[in-house]
Amino acid sequence: MNFNVSFISRFELRHQDMIAFSSLQQAILKVCELGWKKVSATVKELSKTAKAAFEIRGLLTPVVCSRKNHSSIFNIKGDQELYEKLLESNIITSLLGDGIRVGFSYFNTQADLCRLPEVLALYFLLR
């Protein structure tokens, strides 16, 4: 193996996404600025609140409901119609398998989290 070749040069040119690298750099700088403990605590609190809101509405599988703690990524029960309603409401999600994936990160706020159950409640009320 030639150790004089830089790490980045081992990748094919067209596989490099400079925007993604730059976005990752900014995210790392922000985490360093805020501190890992604060970032982690924010995500854990959002996850706990979201899990409770989803459980009340019956949007989680029994396996997820039985967990004391869950990650900040959820696959809630939903279909194409709900997915489109969430997108119309500027809530970023992914249609995945038999559900809709939603996730929370350190840049989300409690206000962001509150909007999601409001949109879900209105959607199910009007059905």
pTM value > 0.85: no
Contacting residues for 33 by C-beta, under 8 A, at least 6 apart = none
CB 18 within 8 A of CB 76: no
Task: Tell which residue, 111, 99, 96, has the closest CA to residue 119.
Answer: 111
CA angle centred on 104, ends 33 and 25, rounded to 5° = 35
**Number of domains, the chain:** 1
Residue 3 lies in a domain: no
How does DSSP classify residue 77? E
Residue 13 lies in a domain: no
What integer pLDDT is reported at residue 78 of this predicted model?
92
Residue 53 lies in a domain: yes
Residue 118 lies in a domain: yes
Residue 4 lies in a domain: no
Residue 2 corresponds to which tokens in the numbers above? 């030639």
Residue 15 lies in a domain: no
Domain containing 106 equals: 36-126
Residue 10 lies in a domain: no
What is the CATH number for 42? Answer: 3.90.1150.10
Residue 66 lies in a domain: yes
Cα dihedral 5, 28, 19, 17 sign = positive
CA angle centred on 79, ends 77 and 81, rounded to 5° = 135
Q: Are strands 99-103 and 94-96 parallel, antiparallel or unpaired?
A: antiparallel
pLDDT per residue as tens, the chain (127 positions): 556 666 666 666 666 677 888 888 999 999 999 999 999 999 999 999 999 999 999 999 999 999 999 999 999 999 999 999 999 999 999 998 889 999 999 889 899 889 998 999 898 888 7
